[in-house]
Amino acid sequence: MNGRFDVGSQSRTSMAETLLRLEDLEVSRGMNKVLSAFNLEIKPGDVVVLHSENGAGKSTVIECSARLLPLERGSVSHHEALVVDNEGRRNRPVHPFGLTLQSNGMVGDETVENHLNTVCALSQMTTDLAPILESYGLAHRRHDRIAQLSGGQARKVAVIAGLLPAMLSDKPRLVLLDEPATGLDQSAVRTLVSTIGQLRQSGHGFLIASHHPEMLACATRLHDLKEEVENKPSDNEAWTAIGQPVPKSFVASKTGQRYLRSTRAGIARNGLTALLVLGTIMAFIDPSTISDRTLLMGLTLSAPFAAGLAGDPVLYLLKEQRAVDWWRANVQRLPSADLFAPLTGIAFTAMGTVVFLGEFDWKVTLIGAFVLWFTMASVRFIEINTLRLARPNAVFLRLLLPILILPWALVTEYTATL
């Protein structure tokens, strides 16, 4: 794919703007201090390649730039605006940016086309993806699920997703690529290097972690996390912006609903949990022998409560290949099962009222919908805040879930008085 235009005056006027500024970063992994007093700036037209040895902190720099890691000191700014600092402030970037993580950051049940269209929508743009997919040999896989691709093909999709915000825009954009050439065939590497060169000529800025010789050759600056040296890459034609603006839409919310429709994860996790609870209670308890209305209400509201404790099914899907981190970098609020929770609560509470109360009760049904929504939202809140920690898998905040029994019991007692 070749660009065919010189950078417009609008792009040239913003060439002095700093796309990325890392100031005095200090980051630790466990007991080890990975970065200390680290500073870096990316301006339009810069391609900075980090090339130190494994474990030195290249990925840490990329992930700090994408506001994914907690900072002990320092701050990160995009387009001169603060996005994260060591005091806990975390703001959404004022402009979209490209990101390719080492682990791809994609949901396997998403199709290639849907994932890339979602990336475009986050930039409030749309485009014809066919030429891009063709240049990477993926045109015939555009309707396939990402899980059905080979490792190299999936990596190509992740790389395209990282490049798209710059490809779409005629204004300078920041692109963060962590080992983008890993897993790519030689043809794809050449296409990637050529695209980076064209986008650089159009004023976009890159921060890349890579040891690949061709990636090093396309850099304007080489950085080993201690010292930086200038480099002269080959000249390229400027890239032609390919995006057409579209109205702002609720991308994260729509994506969450699409995930649920395509995977049935909500039925498999929350729905099955509620059915198991209902079935177990019905197998051992005869509601006609119980006169205590509070106990009957507890049985009725047990299924939506258990379904809520199973957590947000969309968040569960996003844990695949660190897709949740890709989304955390790009948006303030992750895709979620917003509509699924109350609808499922209504369905299972309605079943419970018929089974345990002998008749449908719409007031109890609405309360059951609230119970499921509130419980799921609470579990989601705990899990999301765990993700922000340096070692989320080592923190057992889910052990706090039993505290939700108290509000459930209070709601049960209140409902029994209706």
What CATH number is given to the structural domain containing 214? 3.40.50.300
Give the whole-angstrom CA distance, residue 310 versus residue 273: 7
Residue with the two structure tokens 């050529």: 194
Residues 294 and 392 in one domain: yes
The number of beta carbons lying within 10 Å of the beta carbon of residue 142 is 17
Is 2 within a domain? no
Q: Are residues 16 and 160 in the same domain?
A: yes
Task: Quote the pLDDT of residue 169.
Answer: 95
Is residue 218 assigned to a domain? yes
What is the C-alpha separation between 295 and 330, in angstroms, rounded?
Answer: 46
Decide: helix, strand or coil at residue 367. Answer: helix
Query: Do residue 214 and residue 301 come from a single domain?
Result: no
Say if residue 315 is in the same domain as residue 192: no
Same domain for 236 and 256, yes or no, is no
pTM of the model: 0.89
Range of the domain at 397: 251-416
Phi (first) and psi of residue 338, to 5 degrees: -60, -50
Residues 237 and 364 both lie in one domain: no
Task: Output the pLDDT for position 398.
Answer: 66
- For 238-307, the DSSP string reads PPPP--EE-----HHHHHHHHHHHHH-HHIIIIIHHHHHHHHHHHHH--GGG---HHHHHHHHHHHHHHH
pLDDT at 14: 46
pLDDT digits (tens, 9 = 90+) for 22-33: 999 999 877 788
Last residue of a domain, one of 189, 218, 245: 245
Same domain, yes or no: 257 and 240: no
Mark whether 312 and 194 lie in a shared domain: no
Residues of the chain where predicted confidence (pLDDT) is lower than 50: 2-15
DSSP state of 139: G
Whether the CB-CB separation of 308 and 344 falls below 8 Å is answered with no
Same domain, 212 and 358: no
Q: Has residue 142 been placed in a domain?
A: yes
Regarding whether 187 and 268 lie in a shared domain, the answer is no
| C-beta of residue 105 within 8 angstroms of C-beta of residue 322 | yes
Residue 231 CB neighbour total at 10 angstroms: 15
Both structure tokens of 324: 């949740």
The burial of 80, by beta-carbon neighbours within 10 Å (0-12 exposed, 13-18 middle, 19 or more buried), is given as exposed
Asked whether 111 and 143 are in contact (CB, 8 A), the reply is yes
Backbone angles phi, psi at 372, to 5 degrees: -65, -45
In-domain check, residue 3: no
pLDDT tens-digit profile of 160-182? 999 999 999 999 999 999 999 99
- Maximum CA pair distance of the chain? 84
Indicate whether 261 and 383 sit together in one domain: yes
3-state secondary structure of 375: helix
Mean of pLDDT over the chain: 91
Packed helices 151-168 and 112-122: angle between N→C axes, nearest 10 degrees: 30
Q: How far apart are CA 385 and CA 383, in angstroms?
A: 5
Query: What pLDDT is recorded for position 3?
Result: 42
Which pLDDT does position 337 carry in this prediction? 87
End-to-end CA distance of the chain: 67
In a domain, 122, yes or no: yes
pLDDT of residue 29: 77
Is position 161 within any domain?
Answer: yes
17 — phi, psi (to 5°)?
-70, 135
Give me the number of domains the chain comprises: 2
Burial of residue 363 (CB within 10 Å: 0-12, 13-18, 19+) is exposed
Residues 35 and 105 reside in one and the same domain: yes
Out of 205, 226, 245, a domain closes at 245
Asked which of 216, 245, 274 is the last residue of a domain, the reply is 245
User: Is 34 within a domain?
Assistant: yes
Residue 194 falls inside a structural domain: yes
Asked whether the beta carbons of 98 and 39 are under 8 A apart, the reply is no
